[in-house]
Amino acid sequence: MPVVITNDTQDVLLREEIMLSARQLLSPSIIEERMQLQYDFGMADFSEMYFDGLHISYGNARIFQNLHVAVELVDLPTMVTQHFVVHGDLITNLPGRAPCRFTSLEHNVLYNPDLCEHAQLKKQDGIEVVTISFTKERFLELAENNGHVLARLGEDVAGDRAVFLNRDHNQPITMQMLKVLDEIKSCRFQGGIKKLFLQSKALELLALQCDQYERTTETVLPAGALSMPDREKILFARDLLVKAVQQPPSLRELSRQSGLNEFKLKSGFKQVFNNTVFGYLNDHRLEQARQFLLQQDQRSLSEIAGELGYSSPQHFSHAFSKKFGVSPGKIRK
């Protein structure tokens, strides 16, 4: 699988052959690989898993200059891919479609029938991405008799047409999706049980994506529904909020920075995230704390509480226990 990375002036920075075969993708047992890469133009740490027509990839990277990545899918089956950009900024290109830009906490499902994939990565300190890909045949089996959203997507896939699940814009990653993504990354099962667990989580994410699409895209929206520009402002406000967890802006300040009045800001958060502005912030803080603890972060609970903007460790512990039904100290053990 040839990979070519160039810069903005089309200078070739890397040309490399990555060994990946259809046999790996269709392996009845899990094949696991970890790639730790370091170059002058960036560094990355990614984990890959292949089995039964399913490919799961997750990791993070630092990009030191703008990059253009081209991957040739030689002798490989075409794939339907769930894209989750937890953090960062990237652009992906499908033949015959406008470039699709992903920013932090956005997701979509896409199918590329072409033999080449293209992506653009701007210079950035950190990008975290999770992708889950099904072979075309495996996806079409799932799409059959499992709801009209998958059926519509399946028609395009069966016809080898490039397509996004949400054709107009990406959808926001919900807290429930973040939780499932974290469960995939922290899975401690082995062998057949691990296969079963990962398949169930991949399907759970697909169900959550389809459900969100149905609720936010196909529902007849009431009067006062968000326009596309206002929805983009809500997503911008969300980004401002999660970047300032230690000292979040007031509702008035967030309204001023996002260009929305307070009423539209509050109602927009309910429409897009089914949560209040500060309810969303609280959920984000607690999910971040849970990930720190699951990753065996060596900082004390007081340090974690302070980093996430809690006034005291006691306040943090109470909120964490109320949200997850277990104290943060027990999560760490």
Q: What is the CATH number of the domain that holds 309?
A: 1.10.10.60
Instruction: Tell whether 128 is covered by a domain.
Output: yes
238, part of any domain: yes
Three-state SS at 94: coil
Same domain, 26 and 102: yes
Residues 130 and 17 in one domain: yes
Residue 21 · residue 39 · CB < 8 Å: no
pLDDT of residue 225: 62
**53 and 200 assigned to the same domain:** yes
Residues 211 and 275 in one domain: no
pLDDT, position 324: 86
Q: What is the CATH number of the domain that holds 178?
A: 2.60.120.10
180 and 98 within one domain:
yes
Does 223 reside within a domain?
no
Q: Last residue of a domain, which of 171, 198, 218?
A: 218
Q: Which of 218, 240, 274 is the last residue of a domain?
A: 218
179 belongs to a structural domain: yes
Cβ neighbors of 288 (< 8 A, separation 6 or more) are 245, 308
Q: Give CA–CA dist 9/41, Å, rounded.
A: 14
- 25 and 69: one domain? yes
- Same domain? For 17 and 153 the reply is yes
Domains identified in the chain, total number? 2
Of 140, 2, 16, the residue nearest 75 (C-alpha) = 2
Q: Which helix (H) or strand (E) holds 103?
A: strand 100-103
| pLDDT value for 178 | 95
The answer to whether residue 182 is domain-embedded is: yes
Question: Do 197 and 233 share a domain, yes or no?
Answer: no
In a domain, 246, yes or no: yes
Same domain, yes or no, for 307 and 162? no
Residue 72 backbone dihedrals phi, psi, to 5 degrees:
-95, 125
Which of 195, 218, 241 is the last residue in one of the domains? 218
- Note whether residue 253 is domain-resident: yes
Report pLDDT for 220. 44
Structure token pair of residue 218 = 């196909």
Segment 29-45, tens digit of pLDDT = 999 999 999 999 999 99
User: How many Å apart are CA 221 and CA 278, to the nearest integer?
Assistant: 24
The rounded distance, in Å, linking the Cα atoms of 166 and 88 is: 20
Collapse the DSSP code of 199 into the 3-class scheme (helix H, G, I; strand E, B; otherwise coil) and give the result: helix
What would the two tokens of residue 275 be? 């949560």
Q: Which stretches of the chain drop beneath a pLDDT of 50?
A: 219-221, 223
Burial class of residue 323 (count of CB atoms within 10 Å of its CB; 0-12, 13-18, 19+): middle
Shared-domain flag, residues 279 and 328: yes
Residues 73, 205 share a domain: yes
d(CA 52, CA 30): 8
Q: Which tokens in the block code for residue 51?
A: 């089995």
Largest CA distance in the chain: 57
User: Are 269 and 203 a contacting pair, CB within 8 Å?
Assistant: no
The residue range of the domain holding 327 is 228-332
Which pair of structure tokens corresponds to residue 237? 């406000």
Yes or no: say if 164 and 174 are a contact pair by the CB < 8 Å rule: no
> Are 75 and 106 contained in the same domain?
yes
